[in-house]
Amino acid sequence: MVRFIPNQSRIIMRLQTLQRLSSLSFVVLLSLSIAGTVLVHQVSPLRDPAFQPNSGNAGSLLPTFRTVRESDWITGATILAALLALSLTLMLFLGWYQRSMTTPPRLQTQGVLRRTMQFLLWVSFGLLTFTGVWISWMVYLMTQWLVD
């Protein structure tokens, strides 16, 4: 039998709302990431048959995107990777936390060390996710010759 603490049902409802919002933000960011991938492919200099890949000539050949510097592409990739990693980590954390709240009290350990380890686990998951997404974006930008 699960013993509820006072206002636990309200807390669970708020967690469900937060989880839905984080899921929605993850889907929006994933869609934005797909749109960014298509944009990078469309402005890539590799689409021009006269383009000769050499070191030092990265960047878009389209007049509209010639003013976009390499640092702008890198900044965009970093921001998108950070937002995706944060959104995914928050979505998974809220689901896990919601399930852990309904665990019977005798199975819950409230030790400071355990809470610290759980926090570090979620932070490391977020950092690893960010690193993986960021490296993927950088490799893609390099293969499209937008970044040297």
Q: What is the pLDDT of residues 85-127, one digit of tens each?
A: 999 999 999 988 888 777 666 655 567 888 889 899 999 999 9
pLDDT-derived band at 137, boundaries 50, 70, 90 = very high
Question: What domain range is 135 assigned to?
Answer: 8-99+109-143
With a cut of 50, say whether residue 1 has pLDDT above it: no
Total number of domains in the chain: 1
Tally of CA atoms within 13 A in the half-sphere of 11 that contains its CB:
12
Query: Does residue 30 sit within a domain?
Result: yes
Whole-number Cα distances in Å, 28 to 16, 37, 74, 133: 18, 14, 21, 16
Query: Does residue 1 sit within a domain?
Result: no
Query: Does residue 104 sit within a domain?
Result: no
Q: Which two tokens stand for residue 86?
A: 């944060």
This prediction's pTM: 0.84
Query: Does residue 89 sit within a domain?
Result: yes
Query: Does residue 88 sit within a domain?
Result: yes
